Amino acid sequence: MGNFSQDPTARAADAVAKQYVGVRIQQAVPLVDADWNLLDDIRRADLESFGRLFIGSGVPAGSDGFRISPALAPANDFQIALGVCLVNGKLARNDGPGTVLYSNQPNFVRAGLTPLTMPAADRPFFVVLDVFEREVDHLDDPALVDARIGVETSVRLKREWAVRVFRDPEDVPQIDAPPAGHVFLRLARLARQAGNANITAAMITDLRDTQLTLLRKIEFRDNAGNLVVDNVRFQQVLQNTRTNIQSLLRYLTTGFNGIFVLLTGAEVLGVEAAAHVAHTAEAGLAQLNAFAMGNNGALRFLQQLYDAEQNFMLVWRDVLLQLGTSVKKYASYQNFVTRLSERLNNPNVGALTGLLPAINAGNLAAAVDMQEEIVRLIGTAARTIARGSIQVAYVNAPPGVLTIGQTVRFEFRVRSFTTQADTFTVSILPAAGWQRVLVDNTGNPIPNNRVPVGAVGTETTLFVNTTVAAGASQLQLRVVSDSNPAEIDQVTGLLTLTAGQPAPPGEDRIQFQLEVPFHATISGGVVTLTQPLQASSVGVRIFNNTGQTATFNITVDEVPNSRIGTWTIARQGDAATAPLAHGASVRVGGVSITPGADAVSTQARYNVSTNIAGATVAASLVIPISV
């Protein structure tokens, strides 16, 4: 386009190859356009090389440039965020105006782009930023004409950009080898769906490197723009991860086992898996202290930390827990391992998101929230505290209808499967509703709602005095271990209480008793086999407290995630009782138990149900079993 004495592009390439970094104008020497052009081109090449080699390609801190997001309308389109992006040292700017879409981007026609169409089949695409330069003369910019003399001044070199869409994988070679004078950067991946003209957020994966700078910091903001994760918070969570893992290692090697106790090969694997988590946290702290980690780097690091913690969980689940309940009692960590697995992998853990799902969603705040929960859980594993589980059931309802102004008492039973006695805090839920007070058996309020619960095999009764008011209210108990709230946290079913109506029937209208063990003993509700590798059994007596004659259906299964080793648990006897009068009891069989060679412990569940006045009444007895 321009009228040059020499080709600027070729001359600049020659100068760069010769490592020229400047042009010196001499006196009494003719000055030609080529020298001026070369001076500008050399300096620009030097600056672009610095950006390409020492900074990289991406979006700087404070900008969200060229982020791809769904378009509100029309279909087969997406939005391109305003801002800047550095591509191989070339700074591209999207200044708008207004909302920039794929279909209305400034160079849609000039770049030869075509409208997007609805795919006939599911298929992936890459969204790519194409940065290039072109010469601009007075035809594009009339201001380049000097109005005083009516002559065009020097032409300008303008940086342009276009956002293109390429098929994956067919067009990947084109992305990797852009035309001369063009540089490409992958902005996003689209996973489009067959027959869907809309491009949704779930289809878009952001591929940009954000917070591009020589010194990187973590600055993750929520949708309102509030800073929710920064270097300080991320550093704290890594320090706590390292500290709590190190505390666990000290406890395992000097407290749980004793300082002079030799460790088995399985225990050494468990110690090494824990140490790997601490080493990973140390590596992250080193990157933070070097200001070498931004938001994307933090997510990638959390993936690395997840891998270490997942390996730790698997080693404990598949190796350490196999050491069982004798001598070292690693089986007491079953609940800890189960909760760790949930926090690592489950989509939802209460109001939080599991660590891996949060990482996969690119949500740094959710991932850090969950890692903080994991750190607290690991902290509890390093202390001599109650471990295991409890069962809480609503067992007894007040008689008659609920009368306004009346104070009635509801009873709940706590059955312990914990390694040691502990105090538990009882919360009455929901907060709104009738007046409900936790009391002792004499009716006096219990201070701070804290009650003692014994070790495995013991039962504790909780009493809730409720003052009936108009309308309806709900009642639910949450019982949480004071020493180990991360592992032992149980919630009852939700009861709905209505004035003028009877209270919901208790869940304890069916009761059980273990008896006649074969090749086993019964102590505190725990069945211990006396003849390992031989078939054993225990009988179960059913007591009918439903208020009428009933026939009970019987099934037997295992409590999920309770098995350590190989077990065969089955129902022994008939699948149903004969009609059983109220107040009577019967034993029609029990539980058949066959341990494998590697059996350590499990929990069988004896399930009974019947139909009373059109409603199902059911109860279960959990039977801890060990060799």
Beta strands 526-529; 615-626: pairing state: parallel
**Block residue for tokens 């938001």:** 295
What is the longest distance spanned by two Cα atoms in the chain?
Answer: 123
Share of the chain above pLDDT 90, in %: 54
CB 229 within 8 A of CB 314: no
**Is cis: bond before 70, omega within 30 of 0?**
no
Length of the chain: 627
* Residue pLDDT, tens place only, 250-272: 888 887 766 666 777 788 888 89
Summarised one tens digit per residue, pLDDT across range 585-614 is 899 999 999 999 888 888 899 999 998 877
The confidence band for 326, taking pLDDT boundaries of 50, 70 and 90, is very low
pLDDT digits (tens, 9 = 90+) for 100-147: 999 999 999 999 999 999 999 999 999 999 999 999 998 888 888 888
Which one-letter DSSP state was computed for residue 330? G
Is the distance from CB of 321 to CB of 264 less than 8 angstroms?
A: no
Decide if 552 contacts 590 (C-beta within 8 A): no
Identity (one letter) of the amino acid at 353?
Answer: T
Instruction: Note the pTM of the prediction, 2 decimals.
Output: 0.52
Task: Give the integer Cα–Cα distance in Å for 199 and 202.
Answer: 8
Residues 6+ apart with CB under 8 A from 30: none
Q: Residues 270-286: pLDDT tens digits?
A: 889 999 999 999 999 99
* CATH class of the 388-498 domain in this structure: mainly beta
Identify the CATH class of 510-626: mainly beta
261 CB-side CA count, 13 A: 15
- Is 325 a residue whose pLDDT tops 50? no
What does the pLDDT read at residue 260?
Answer: 63
Rounded to an integer, what is the distance from CA 87 to the centroid of its chain?
Answer: 33
Amino acid identity of 621? L
| Distance (Å) of CA 596 to CA 64, 107, 212, 521, 530 | 59, 71, 58, 18, 14
* Rounded distance between C-alpha atoms, residue 258 and residue 587, angstroms: 46
Q: Could you tell me which of 327, 384, 390 has the C-alpha nearest to residue 626?
A: 327
The helix (run of H) or strand (run of E) holding residue 297 is: helix 295-318
Task: Indicate if the pLDDT at residue 387 is higher than 90.
Answer: no
The tens digit of pLDDT for each residue in 433-467 reads: 999 999 999 999 999 999 999 988 788 999 999 99
CATH 2.60.40.10 intervals, the chain: 388-498, 510-626
Helices 334-345 and 295-318 pack at an angle, to 10 degrees, of 150
Q: What CA–CA distances, in Å, run from 382 to 240, 484, 557? A: 13, 11, 33
* pLDDT (tens digit per residue) in 151-198: 888 889 999 999 999 999 999 999 999 999 999 999 999 999 999 999
User: How far is C-alpha 210 from the chain's CA centre?
Assistant: 22
| Distance in angstroms (rounded) separating the CA atoms of residues 455 and 453 | 7
